[in-house]
A and B are shown apart, each in its own frame.
Chain A
Amino acid sequence: MTIFLRPFISVSMARSFTYLVCFLLVFTGCKKDKKSENPIPDSPVENSLTVHLSYLVDANPLHFEQTEYISAANYPYSVSKLNYYLSQLSLIKSDSSLLVLKNYHYADAAIPETNTFQLGSIPAGHYVGFTCNIGLDSNQNKSNSLAATNDNINMQWPEPMGGGYHFLKLEGYFTDSTKTYGYAMHLGTKACLVKIKLLKALVVKESGNTDLKLSMDLAEWFKNPNTFDFVKDGNYIMGNAIAMKKVTDNGKDVFKLLP
C-alpha cells in the first residue's frame, strides 16, 4: 500500500517499473470469477472455430418487419423479433462422445455481434457432426443462474410460470382474412427444450480457423410435424402447454449446417 501513497518526486526507471508491476497485480486482483460460458480454457490460440448463425424464412432471407411470408397454415406473416438461447453446443466425435464447445449462447437475430462467435483451441481432427439445444438445459435453466447481462435481462421466465429463462422469443404479425394481429411464440420450461443434432463430416484444422455455419429457417417453427395455426392454436403461446409443445416439436429441424 505505502508504495502507492508516496509523493511522485522521482521518476526513475526502477520506480515506474514497480508501478507497472503493481498495476498488473492490482488489475489481475480485480478480476472476478464468473460463471463461464465457455468450458474450454483460453490457452494460446493455435486454431479456432467460428460459429456463424444466419436466418431464412422458407429459404428467403429474413427481413424484419417488412417482408410478408406465408405460413404452412396459410397466414401471411412477418417477423419482428427473434431472441433465443443455445446450450451445450458440442461437436460429435467419431465415437459419438461429445466435445462441449460452449455451455450457452444468447442470440438476437437483429444484433450481428450475437450471431458470430469464436471459440479457441479446439482439438484438431475429424468430427461427425454438431449438436446443441435450443433453450437452456435443466442445470442452467434456473432463475438467476446465468450472470445478469443487459441481454438476458429480457429473457427471464417468471417464477410464477416456472422460473428459468425464455428459450425462444419469436414475434411478429399475421393477417387473418383482412385483419392484422400480433403473434408471440415464446418457449420456456423443461418440456420445451429443443434438441438439435446435425450429422455431417467436419474437419477441425490444426491451425487457423474453421467455420461452422448454422442456418435457422424460421418457417420450420410453424410446420413439420405440426402445422401451426395462429388462430386455432393461439397467437400467444406462453403458458399454453399444448401450443408450446406443438412449436417445440417443430423445432427439431429448424437448423441446417451450411457448407
Chain B
Amino acid sequence: MKKIISSLIVLSVLAACTKHSTTLASYQNTATTLSVPKKFPTPVIPSDNPLTVEGIILGRYLYYDNILSTNGRSCSSCHMPENSFSLPIFITSKGEHVSVPAHVNLAWDPDYTWNGSVTKMDIVGLADFGPAFFNTNMSELTSKLKAHPKYPSLFKQAYDIDDIGKLSPDELQLKIVYAISQFLRTLISSDSKFDKWMRHETMFTDEEMLGYEIFFSEKGDCFHCHDYPLMTSNTFNNTGLDSIHSGQNLGRYLVTGAESDKGKFSAPTLRNIAYTAPYMHDGRFKTLEEVIDFYNSGVHWTSPNIDPIMTKSFKKYGLSLSPVQKSNLLQFLKTLSDTTFLNNKAFKKPLDL
C-alpha cells in the first residue's frame, strides 16, 4: 500500500508539472494545477482538497445539477453563468436583500461572503443543503446519485468511492462541496479588455483611457481597494454607504464583534462588473452610474470607521468628477468585462446533463 501511495505521489507531481492526464487504473485521479495568469500571485489551494482533473469534472456536473435539491434549484440557479455566476438579487427569510457575489478568481480570495464569515471556500456550499436554499433530503439524494447513469463513475474517478451509499450524509455533502470548489477555482478571468491593454494587445478609446487615469490616480482613487490584477485588495472596508449601521449593514462586525469593524465589507472584485447588477452587498444601486454617483457625492463622511482613503479631501468632500469624467470612469469599468470568461464552454453546464 505504501508503495502505491508513493507511486501515486510521483504520478501526481508529474501530472502537476506537465499537466498530463494519464490513463491508469480507474481509481486513480489526476492531479492538476491552475494555470496562473501572468502578474497574478500564487493561489492558495487547501491541502485537504487538491485539484484533480476528475474532481473538477464532478464538481462541474454537481454545480449545474438540481439533483442536489428538492426544490428544483442548483447552484447555478443563483450563480448564473451569463451574469458571471451572479444573480440579480437574493432575498433572505428575514426579508433582507443580498446581492449574489460573482464567481471570478475565487482561488485568490482569502474570505467568502460579503462580511467574510467563511474563510474556506470549500465549505461555503455546505449551507446550501439547508431549507433556505436546496432543502435537500439526504437519503433521497444518496439513492438518486447511486441510481444515476453518470454519478457512480464520476465519484469513483474523483474520489475512488465504490459505493456512494456507504458515505454518511456529512461525508457525502463534504465530497460534493469539495468537488464543486475545485470547479469554482478554475473560473479564472484574465482576458478582459483591460488585461489585453495591459499586455499591449489592444488599444483603449480616449474615453476608456481617461477613465483608467481617474481609476488609477488620486482623482478617483479606486485602485486602493480595487487594484490590478484581481481588481480587489481582498480587504474589509467601510466605504460610507450608511451613516448609522444596523442589521446586515453592520457587516464585518457581525463576524468579529469589533467596534472598528462596523460597516466594513469585503471589497469585491470589479471583474465583469457590468454583468453583475445590482451593486453593493444589499444591491442598493441598480446601475454603475448610481455607484459612481455614490463615490462622487453620496459617501456618508460621518460613518463610523469610514475608510481613511474615503475621507481624503476632508474639507471639500467628494471626488468632484464632472459628468464627462463620470462617463469616462464608467467606460473604463466596462473594460473589465471578460467575454472569453463569459463564453468559456468549460465553465458552462455540461451538454449531457
- Taking Cβ atoms with an 8 Å cutoff, the residues of A that contact B are 4-5, 7-8, 11, 15-16, 19-20, 22-23, 26-27, 29-30, 65, 80-81, 144, 148-150, 153-154, 156, 158-161, 171-173, 181-184, 235-236, 238-239
Binary contact readout B66-92 vs A (1 if CB under 8 angstroms, 0 otherwise): 000000000000000000000000000
Which are the 6 A-B pairs with shortest beta-carbon distances? A182-B308, A236-B312, A158-B216, A182-B311, A239-B218, A65-B260
Is B118 positioned at the interface, with any CB of A under 8 Å from its CB? no
Q: Main secondary structure on chain B at its contact with chain A?
A: loop
Interface size class of B (residues with CB under 8 A): 35 or more
Tell whether, in the assembled complex, residue A23 and residue B234 are in contact, meaning their CB atoms are under 8 Å apart: no
Which residue of chain B has the shortest Cβ distance to A144 in the bound complex? B39
Stretch with Cβ within 8 A of A (4 or more), from B57-65, B174-182, B223-231 = B223-231
Report the bound CA distance from A16 to B8 in whole Å: 11
Chain A residues closer than 8 Å to B313, beta-carbon distance: 236
Residues on B facing A (Cβ under 8 Å): 3-4, 6-7, 9-11, 13-14, 16-17, 22, 24-25, 39-42, 44, 108, 110, 212-213, 216-218, 223, 227-230, 233-235, 258, 260, 306-314
Q: How far, in Å, is A69 (CB) from chain B's closest CB?
A: 15
In the complex, what residues of B have CB within 8 A of residue A156's CB? 223, 227-228
Verify A154–B11 contact, CB threshold 8 A. Answer: no
11 interchain pairs (CB within 8 A)? Answer: A5-B22, A8-B7, A26-B17, A29-B17, A150-B110, A153-B41, A160-B213, A160-B217, A173-B308, A235-B314, A236-B309
Residue of A nearest to B228 (CB): A156
In whole angstroms, how far apart are the Cα atoms of A2 and B143 in the complex?
41
Please indicate the chain B residues that have their CB under 8 angstroms from the CB of A22 in the complex. Answer: 10
Contact A8 B260 (CB under 8 A): no
Task: Assess the A160–B212 pair: CB atoms within 8 A.
Answer: yes
Residues of the B chain whose Cβ atoms lie less than 8 Å from the Cβ of A236? 218, 308-309, 311-314
Contact A182 B306 (CB under 8 A): yes
Contacts A23-B6, A156-B227 aside, 18 further interface pairs with beta carbons under 8 A come to: A8-B4, A22-B10, A23-B9, A26-B10, A148-B39, A148-B40, A149-B42, A150-B108, A153-B227, A153-B229, A161-B216, A161-B217, A172-B308, A173-B308, A181-B314, A182-B309, A184-B309, A235-B311
| A184 to B230 CA separation, bound complex (whole angstroms) | 23
Residues in A with CB closer than 8 Å to B312 are 182, 184, 235-236
Question: Across the interface, which residues of A come within 8 angstroms of B40, CB to CB?
Answer: 148
Q: What residue of chain A has the Cβ atom nearest to residue B212's Cβ?
A: A160
The residue of chain A having its C-beta at the shortest distance from the C-beta of B225 within the complex is A154
